[in-house]
Chain A
Amino acid sequence: MKACLAVVMAVWVWASAPWVDAQPQPTGAATIDYQQQVHTILAAQCLGCHSAERRSGGLSLASYADALEGGRSGAAIRPGNAADSLLIGRITGQVPPSMPLGKPALSAGDVATIRLWIDEGARATRASAAAAPKWEAPLALERPAIPDVVRPGWTMPVDRFTAAYLASSGGPPPELVGDAAFARRAFLDIWGLLPPPDDLRAFVANANVDKRRMLIERLLADNDAYAQHWISFWNDVLRNDEGVNYHSETSSRKSISAWLLSALNKNVPYNRFVEQLLSPAAPGDPDGFLVGVNWRGEVSASQTPAMQAAQNSAQVFLGINLKCNSCHDSFISKWQLKDAYGLASFFSEDGRLRLYRCDVAQDVYASPAFLFPELNRVPPSASLPDRRRTAAAIFTDPRNGRLPRTIVNRMWQRLLGRGLVENPDEMDGVPWSPGLLDWLASEFVDSGYDLKRLIATIVSSKAYQLRAVPRVGEQPRDYVFRGPEIRRLTAEQFGDAIGAITGDWNVYQPPAPTAPGGAGPPPARHAREWQTPASPLARALGRPIRDQVFTTRTTTATMLQSLELVNGDRLSNWLLRGARNMLGELPLPPAALFVTPINARGAAAGQTAPRVAAAPFDVGVSGAARLWLVAQDTNSTAVDKAEAVWADGALIGADGVATPLSTLVPLDASAVRSGSGTAVIDEQAFQSAVRVKTPSRLVYDISGRGFIRFRGVVGLEHVSRLAQGETILGRFLIFGTEPDFDRLVPPAPETPLPPGPRLTRAADVVDRVYWYALGRAPYAEERAIALEALVDSTRPGRISSEGVADLLWAVMVKPEFQLIF
């Protein structure tokens, strides 16, 4: 089955090779027929080892397409050039080992036939055109010559490559997008935010011919907005996530968010960036990348942290897929088991790694060896830091053209929707313009690996600014570049758009510091979408579970996704809050009657267990119909170990009579843990206790009971169960009115963008929504429809906040909003 697949893929790759920098081919009819004359020789002499099933050395000569595809040593046949063809080298014995292996050589006549067939272009039939040479991705990087200017105004190097390509591939004359569409793309691609209406109008009205370049420079100059957008891309690529833990007892997952945000802010040169990921040395370096994703218990040999590091670094930085050959020699590429282990040996605790084939130990050991032997270096010592440093030096070696090509292609793919090489994780693929790819890569290296310069170069190009190309279905097989793909807003762009348009942003609760003796949780703050845990809406819109490397998000529209848009609480609640905020009608979140931190950390073995004293409370509850008892979690690592307790809780009536909390029944008891009787908090015993999970919320109906005060203590039981490094961190809170669970404590007032104007005229609401969401004024008919929706039938002359929410919804589910044209 696997072998069959390789054949199928090979046929496809060959048949679709559309590159334009092909070598000149011999013309005229050929004299040798492949099927009659060549295949018969190959079938008789070679198929014993090079059949489609056996593929010795990765080479099958069973079919025409197989023969042209070549094997692990690369192309066997270079059409039009028999002298340089490995097949000829082998059968003449010029390139050892001579073939057929251990058998008499081919007759001089047979060799001559094959030689002539190749020199005539290795055609499928006599009448067919000469075969296109197999694309072989080069390793080294050479700056290509820039084509002449063939289109007026297309003078920048990228434009000259693009114009030359477009001229040679035919098609209608290229058209650039208008200013508003360009600004929407540029804002979304550099900041991840929609252009604010005033900026957009000013940009469109600006008569300066250089204004697009100026806008790009302005956007890139805002380090923070840039970093807060691109961090989502890098989080996907580097598998970085917060608060995700699979309880490995040896090497649990580790976030690199702080480093990543700072590196993007400072625009750390990409070679340095890669170096720090592969060879983290200083405190604060991103060692989480090499730690990988680890689950408790035994792990397949192909998924140890070092093997994950090999797979991820090869995929992310070099566009090489080592997943198959982490288990066995790949059936679909030239990579072998030893290659994956050789790379993993740079990152493993022990520099001598035993090979496992499909989880069976082999009597073979790997030592550090890079995928391309010509770039390999021997670590100065066997120490892990030395091996990692050496790996970083190899990856970032200037002779390693794969590193810049891969990132340049990723950026192109991200910004135009399709890579120069279509699959950004398979950089052996054929670029539609090898010259452009290499020029961009060379320029990137010469700029000092400057990611922002690279983005500026691409976004400034005519290629980026072409009209997007609509598609009726699947990507065509013979891809011809005509312009960017139509892209879709990411989950983060979608959420940030709601924040920007309405001024109502997500609230992010930073984790409490985990160092011993740390204080309670810091204040919450308004934040962009990437920073908050993934909501069902964000997941539906494509934010991935980052257990694997994601370099391209799925943008498919699905019914489940639409249900979240149509029916999900998250979106409808947010839009209603946002609508009220736009009208200045959003009430402040209810304040808590009582707040105290939950704060416990496990001590090292042999040290005294931590002591966390119970915290008393005594609050007035007169007039409250319900009580909310909340245990908030702010990044605990062991919520199941210690138990939060509301102890000796008593509701006091006007007559002084106390009703124990434990005798009341909460409206939903699912937050209550089993266990009753005396609670022990910090060696102090309490008679009655309500034990709850962290996080949890308990709601009690106390209407008509005449209680005036609520007293008791809160605390944690079994703190001594916490092992070193394990934490319970959060807050206990009491509310007399329903809290806003995203805003249990009031967030700091600052928002990612300055708040918009408070809107009092319906026409202003419609204008803001259209200009902000769609980058244009509403047409008269649209305006009339929208205005009608804003009428508040119960309050004449007022704007209905529900109407605003509905208008926001109706505009935001439209393709015009969700797609980037």
Chain B
Amino acid sequence: MADDNPHLIGEDHRAFSRLVGRRAFLGVTAGATLSALAGREPRRLQAQSSGPAATADAVIVLWMAGGMAQTETWDPKRYTPFEPGVRTDRVLSTFPSIDTVVDHIKVSQGLERVARVMDRGAIIRTFQAADLGYILHSRHQYHWHTGYIPPQSLAMPHIGSVVSRTLGPKNPSVPAFIAIGQNMEIGGESAAVKAFHTAGFLGSEHGPFLITNPLDAATAVRPPAELGDRRFLSRRRLYQKLLAKEPVYEYAGDFQRESLIRSLESADRLLTSPSAKAFDLSLEPRAAYDTYNTGRFGQGCLLARRLVEAGARYVEVTTEYIPFRYWDTHERGHERAKAMKEQVDAPLAQLVLDLEQRGLLDRTLVVLASEFGRDAITEGKVGKEVRDQANTPDVMAAPEHYGMHRHFTAAGSVVLFGGGIKKGFVYGRTADERPCTTIENPVPVQDLHATIYHALGIPPTTSYVVEKRPVYVTNDGKGKPIRELFERG
């Protein structure tokens, strides 16, 4: 990774020379572009043709961490109620399906609020997680979030970092990439989760701004509590006074010196900017807060809405991955899917309505996704021997057996709203009988990413030069956007 300092060539270099008179760049560059100007970031190769016209300026990814059961949510199948002794292979869905405002779209019970706004969005029912053999959630999450399967010989960037690098911040006072809700110390898979929450070779400029708890978000952009505003300001003044008096000799104007000073200023700008208020959920009217407040995920959705209003580029809100918790339903799947839907239903529906009411939905792509689906019988891909990791007896004797406990990679659901996506639309079809696998229009990660990038006006063949070779934003540049999903095709 030594070659993260490639030279600017051609047009980039001339642009730099124009911008940067000796010692003059202090006044002209924003902090967020300093490293780009210095050629310290991988250079973007210009695509052969100009990109698609963007239909979205911002993305909110709602991450259903742990493997969301598609037949219990967005792709309901035949409902079999629980009774002791019911055969497991008979159970496809543990909830009845309900109608939505769109005639031909049914979803699972527990998603009533989203059902009422389904005419604003689309469902992909044939998401294809990679076939990696023995399941490790964090590895599939890495794949989903970077487009590449680890291990990799390069540090691959998170999709949020790619968006940040490619489009830059929408508002320089709001970090371009904000990740909400994931605690990084989660036991055995901590290192694996950290491994993809990174800008990798794109450089830390584009790393995630991490907010674990939405209620604490305001403190992330406020002086540390133990410091207090008064001391924070006096410390700041002390620094400025001492800086003004230091001897700099011939090093005045040195790029590194100036960029250190500038980056402190940009941090300050964030802390003191009016945009910082977007992080403070206590400023939200009580009624609105209550609508969203189904727990941390719901609070995160509210925060995401506020941040996008303030000019965030890419926001991800997770239900949080902790092994064996939340969507990682190894047992009591029915009960736990019910609880998860309670967390997700109201905030998602309200987010769509709020964005619409503010005139932002047309230019904001909301994507709800998960690393793979679930099933009661099949582990991994259909027809492939994979080690079982969740205990499911042949007969459901007790309530803890009732649910989708195995990891299923042959189909999964993705829900999209806004950002130019067709309204009231379903893409892809799965079988109505087990193994409920994909029948038509499979959507691998690279095509889903290409679709998100397409909405943002980024061609899937966009690449960055790392160690002299192009690294594409979708797997080897092969991602194909699903044009049928877009209103304008």
**Interface residues of A, Cβ cutoff 8 Å to B:** 1-2, 5, 8-9, 12, 243-247, 249, 292-300, 302-303, 308, 311, 321, 323-324, 326, 331-332, 423-426, 467-468, 470-475, 477, 486, 488, 540, 542, 544-545, 547-552, 554-563, 565-569, 572-573, 576, 633, 637-640, 674, 693-695, 779, 781-782, 785-786, 789, 802, 806-807, 809-811, 813-816, 818-819, 821
Contacting pair A813 B239 (CB below 8 A): yes
- 16 pairs from A and B in contact (CB 8 Å cutoff): A1-B470, A5-B469, A244-B191, A292-B151, A298-B134, A473-B20, A474-B40, A552-B2, A556-B34, A557-B34, A563-B209, A566-B268, A567-B222, A639-B188, A809-B235, A819-B251
- CB pair B256 A488 closer than 8 Å: yes
Cβ-defined contact, B267 with A565, below 8 A: yes
Contact indicator A810/B465 (Cβ below 8 Å): no
Residue of chain B at shortest CB distance from A426 = B3
B16 pairs with A473, CB closer than 8 A: yes
Given contacts A246-B150, A638-B188, contact A473 B132 (CB under 8 A): no
With contacts A813-B239, A813-B264 taken as known, whether A569 is within 8 angstroms of B191 at the C-beta atoms is no
Q: In the complex, A332→B139 CA distance in Å?
A: 30
CA distance A295 to B150 in the complex (A): 7
Task: Report whether B477 and A297 are in contact in the complex, using a CB–CB cutoff of 8 Å.
Answer: no
Q: Enumerate chain B residues within 8 angstroms of A472, measured Cβ to Cβ.
A: 20, 22-23, 25, 253-255
Residues B40 and A554 in contact, CB atoms below 8 Å apart: yes
- If the complex has contacts A471-B255, A552-B2, are A558 and B191 also in contact, measured as CB distance less than 8 A? no
B149, B224, B263 interface centre (most CB from chain A within 10 Å): B263
For B323, the chain A residues whose CB sits under 8 A away are: 640
Knowing A12-B7, A472-B20, the reply to whether A540 touches B149 (Cβ < 8 A) is no
- What's the Cα separation between A19 and B40 when bound, in Å? 24
Chain A residues near B465 (CB, 8 Å)?
A: 5
Among B99-107, B242-250, B286-294, B350-358, which stretch is in contact with chain A?
B242-250
CB-based contact B255/A558 at 8 Å: no
**Which single residue of chain A is at the shortest CB-CB distance from B241?**
A785
A781 lies within 8 A of B245 (CB): yes
B192 and A545 form a contact (CB under 8 A): no
Query: Which partner residue on chain B sits nearest A785 by CB separation?
Result: B241
Q: Closest Cβ of chain A: how far from B219's Cβ, in Å? A: 9
Residues from chain B with a CB closer than 8 A to the CB of A8 are 9
Inter-chain contacts of A674 with B (CB < 8 A): 325
Cβ contacts under 8 Å, A332 to chain B: 468-469
Q: What is the chain A residue whose CB lies nearest that of B324?
A: A640
Q: Are B205 and A559 in contact (CB under 8 A)?
A: yes
B204–A540 contact, CB under 8 A? Answer: yes
The stretch among B226-234, B366-374, B432-440, B446-454 that forms the contact with chain A is B226-234
Q: Are B243 and A814 in contact (CB under 8 A)?
A: yes
Task: Indicate if the CB atoms of A560 and B255 lie closer than 8 Å.
Answer: no
Q: Which residues of A contact B45 (CB under 8 A)?
A: 1, 5
Residue-wise, chain B 145-171 has the 8 Å CB interface mask toward A (1 for contact) of: 000011111110000000000000000
- Please, which residues of chain A bring their CB within 8 A of the CB of B198? 545
Query: Given A547-B151, A557-B262, are A471 and B37 also a contact pair (CB < 8 Å)?
Result: no
| Contact residues in A for B250 (Cβ distance below 8 Å) | 467, 470
B136 at interface (Cβ–Cβ under 8 A)?
yes
Chain B nearest Cβ from A294, distance in angstroms: 7
- In the complex the two chains form, what is the Cα distance from A557 to B241 in whole Å? 21
Q: Given A473-B25, A782-B242, is A556 in contact with B38 using a C-beta cutoff of 8 Å? A: yes
Q: In the bound complex, do residue A486 and residue B254 qualify as a contact, i.e. CB atoms below 8 Å apart?
A: yes
Query: Across chains A and B, which 7 residue pairs bring their CB atoms closest together, nearest first?
Result: A562-B267, A474-B39, A470-B254, A557-B263, A810-B239, A297-B132, A296-B136
Q: In the complex, how many angstroms separate the beta carbon of A69 from the nearest chain B beta carbon?
A: 13
Docked Cα-Cα span, A467 to B32, in Å, equals 30
> Is B87 part of the contact surface with A, judged by Cβ < 8 Å?
no
Judge whether B251 and A246 touch: CB under 8 Å. no
The minimal Cβ–Cβ distance linking B235 to chain A, given in whole angstroms, is 4
A674 to B326, CA, bound (A): 11
CB distance from B202 to the nearest CB of A (A): 10
Is B86's beta carbon under 8 Å from chain A?
A: no
A residues in contact with B155, CB < 8 Å: 544-545, 547-548
Q: Is the CB of B187 within 8 A of A640?
A: yes
Closest Cβ of chain A: how far from B276's Cβ, in Å? 11
The residue in chain A whose Cβ has the minimal distance to the Cβ of B220 is: A567
Residues in chain A near residue B119, CB distance under 8 A:
none
Are the C-beta atoms of B245 and A779 separated by less than 8 Å? yes
Known contacts A5-B470, A548-B1, A556-B203; A639 and B134 CB within 8 A of each other = no
Residue of A nearest to B476 (CB): A358
Chain B residues with CB under 8 Å of chain A are 1-5, 7-9, 13, 16, 20, 22-23, 25, 31-32, 34-35, 37-41, 45, 48, 131-136, 138-139, 149-155, 175, 185, 187-189, 191-192, 194-195, 198, 203-205, 207, 209, 220-224, 226-227, 231, 234-235, 238-239, 241-243, 245-248, 250-251, 253-257, 259-264, 266-268, 270-271, 323-325, 461, 463, 465, 467-470, 477
List chain B residues, Cβ under 8 A from A781: 245
Contact B153 A303 (CB under 8 A): yes
Look across to chain B and name the residue whose beta carbon is closest to the beta carbon of A1.
B470
Chain A residues lying within 8 Å of B134, measured Cβ to Cβ, are 249, 296-298
Cα distance A814–B244 in the bound complex, in angstroms? 10
Q: Using Cβ atoms and an 8 Å threshold, which residues of chain B touch A244?
A: 191
- A549 touching B239, Cβ below 8 Å: no
Q: Which residue of B lies closest to A243 (CB)?
A: B191
How many pairs of residues, A versus B, come closer than 8 Å at their CB atoms? 286
Q: Using Cβ atoms and an 8 Å threshold, which residues of chain A touch B37?
A: 473-474
Which residues of chain A come closer than 8 Å to B257, judged between CB atoms?
Answer: 470, 486, 815, 819
Q: Nearest Cβ in chain B — how far from A451, in angstroms?
A: 19
Kindly provide the distance from the CB of B87 to the nearest chain A CB, expressed in whole angstroms: 27
Q: Is the CB of B139 within 8 A of A296?
A: yes
Q: Are A816 and B188 in contact (CB under 8 A)?
A: no
A474 vs B132: C-alpha distance when bound (angstroms): 42
B148 — nearest CB in chain A belongs to which residue?
A300
Q: When chains A and B are docked, how far (Å) is the Cα of A292 from the Cα of B45?
A: 31
Chain A, Cβ-Cβ closest to B12: A474
CB distance from B30 to the nearest CB of A (A): 9
Contact B139 A297 (CB under 8 A): yes
Contact (Cβ within 8 A) B260 A572? no
Q: Within the assembled complex, what's the spacing in Å between the Cα atoms of A8 and B187?
A: 46
CB contacts (< 8 Å) of B253 on chain A: these are 470, 472
A249 to B386, CA, bound (A): 13
Residue of B nearest to A821 (CB): B251
Q: Are B153 and A326 interface neighbours, CB within 8 A?
A: yes
Q: Are A576 and B226 in contact (CB under 8 A)?
A: yes
Q: Are A331 and B22 in contact (CB under 8 A)?
A: no
What's the Cα separation between A544 and B136 when bound, in Å?
A: 23
Given A473-B16, A554-B40, A809-B239, verify A245-B188 contact (CB < 8 Å): yes
Given that A471-B254, A486-B254 are contacting pairs, would A572 and B227 also be in contact in the complex, using a CB cutoff of 8 Å? Answer: yes
Q: Are A559 and B31 in contact (CB under 8 A)?
A: yes
Bound CA–CA A518/B195 (angstroms): 31
Which of B149, B222, B268, B469 lies in contact with A324, CB distance below 8 A? B469
Partner of B151, one of A295, A633, A637: A295
Chain A residues near B194 (CB-CB < 8 A): 545
Cβ-defined partner of A298 (8 Å) among B48, B132, B259: B132
- The complex places the Cα of A576 from the Cα of B235 at a distance, in Å, of 13
With both chains docked as a complex, state the minimum distance between the C-beta of A642 and any C-beta of chain B, in angstroms: 12
B256 touches A475 (CB 8 A): no
Question: Distance in Å from the Cβ of B215 to the closest Cβ of chain A?
Answer: 12
A243–B271 Cα distance when bound, in Å, is 34
Known contacts A5-B468, A247-B189, A816-B246; is-contact A475 B220 (Cβ 8 Å): no
Task: Name the contact of B267 in the complex, choosing from A547, A566, A786 (C-beta under 8 A).
Answer: A566
Distance of A545 Cα from B154 Cα, bound (Å): 11
B324 to chain A: which residues have CB within 8 Å? Answer: 640
CA distance A474 to B12 in the complex (A): 11
Q: B133, A297: Cβ atoms under 8 Å?
A: yes
CB closest residue in chain A, given B224: A572
| Chain A positions within 8 Å of B131 at CB level | 298
A294 to B7, CA, bound (A): 33
If A560-B209, A818-B260 touch, whether A299 touches B151 (CB-CB below 8 Å) is yes
